[in-house]
Amino acid sequence: MGAQLRVYKRRIRSVTATKKITKAMEMIAASRVVKAQRKVAASSPYATELTRAVTAVGTGSNTKHALTTQAETVVRSAVLLLTSDRGLAGAFNSNAIKAAEQLTARLEAEGKQVDTYIVGRRGLAHYNFRERKVAESWSGFTDEPTYADAKKVAAPLIEAIEKETADGGVDEIHIVFTEFVSMMTQTALDDRLLPLSLDEVAKESAPKGEILPLYDFEPSAEDVLDALLPRYVESRVYNALLQSAASKHAATRRAMKSATDNAGELIETLSRLANAARQAEITQEISEIVGGSAALADATAGSDR
């Protein structure tokens, strides 16, 4: 076998192996998307009921609470960025990071300090590499987040907002995550978690303009609100984590699908080249044989003479 042909054959073998791997990863990601979507759906009854309850307290009482009232001057904001632990997901992480950076720049332009909280090794690596300060970070659960993980993430945020600004507390919390719109579309977006704007929440929970009943609060509206809002934040963080996970798997699936397609194309091109090389080799061999035998025939003819 000629050297050229051997090189092609070797490359075809290695690309085939890569293709098998990416194909497997594509299928794993596809099955995980379905699972993650199911989890998003399973968490929605709790989130809906909780939103309803928050709206009920917010609109049904005149309670003022630190978590629903807008501070007059916002000194510090917290930004929670959700990324994934692992890459191979196309632009998934860079889109989320870009969205967080735009938000940070906007907040800083408004004269606010920004504390960054990060979920996922990818986001943390990005910030560490640029030597930016990160208030707190978590990793290890981005593929399949549980409610306990969401609680863990939400706890320091709730603590920070309850603290006075002078003692290092924050006045508002923003979250940057990737919304799972569909299998093909995932968009990185930012959202203000707290302080809660009740008008928006009310719009979400009662779009038909339904009138909320006048609730009797047990033990009191303040206590209910005190207990509700941390749960509300946790449930929002949980939902964002789940959507982020689903989006990540969908992005991986898409990235791996295009990698598999590209590998297929590469194999085809390489096979064509290998065939051409083999053909050229055979042609050369034939011409060598013919040339050789002609030379031999000429030589014997010459000696006869």
Partner 1 sequence: MAAELHVALVAADREVWSGEATLVVARTTSGDIGVMPGHQPLLGVLESGPVTIRTSDGGTVVAAVHGGFISFADDKLSLLAEIAELSDEIDVQRVERELERAKAEGDAAAERRADVRLRAAASR
Query: Least distance (Å) from partner 1 to the CB of residue 221?
Result: 8
Site string for partner 1, 51-90 (x = CB under 8 A): -xx--xx---------------------------------
Query: Least distance (Å) from partner 1 to the CB of residue 266?
Result: 43
Query: Least distance (Å) from partner 1 to the CB of residue 222?
Result: 11
Whether the CB-CB separation of 134 and 128 falls below 8 Å is answered with yes
Binding test (CB under 8 A) with partner 1, winner from 1, 184, 214, 301: 214
In a 13 Å sphere around the CA of 74, the CA atoms on its Cβ side amount to 23
Nearer to partner 1, 23 or 151 (CB): 151
Binding test (CB under 8 A) with partner 1, winner from 209, 216, 302, 303: 216
CA separation for the pair 124, 127 (Å, rounded)? 5
Binding test (CB under 8 A) with partner 1, winner from 108, 159, 199, 223: 223
CA separation for the pair 34, 225 (Å, rounded)? 35
Query: Least distance (Å) from partner 1 to the CB of residue 278?
Result: 59
Q: Output DSSP code: residue 128.
A: H
Query: Least distance (Å) from partner 1 to the CB of residue 31?
Result: 19
Residue 115: which of 164, 175, 197 has the closest Cα?
175
CA separation for the pair 32, 34 (Å, rounded)? 5
CA separation for the pair 237, 221 (Å, rounded)? 24
Asked if 231 interacts with partner 1 (CB under 8 A), we say yes
Peptide bond into 219 cis (omega under 30): yes
CA separation for the pair 261, 10 (Å, rounded)? 19
Chain contacts with partner 1 (rule: CB under 8 A): 39, 42-43, 45-46, 49-50, 52-53, 56-57, 146-147, 150-151, 212-219, 223-224, 227-228, 231, 234-235, 238
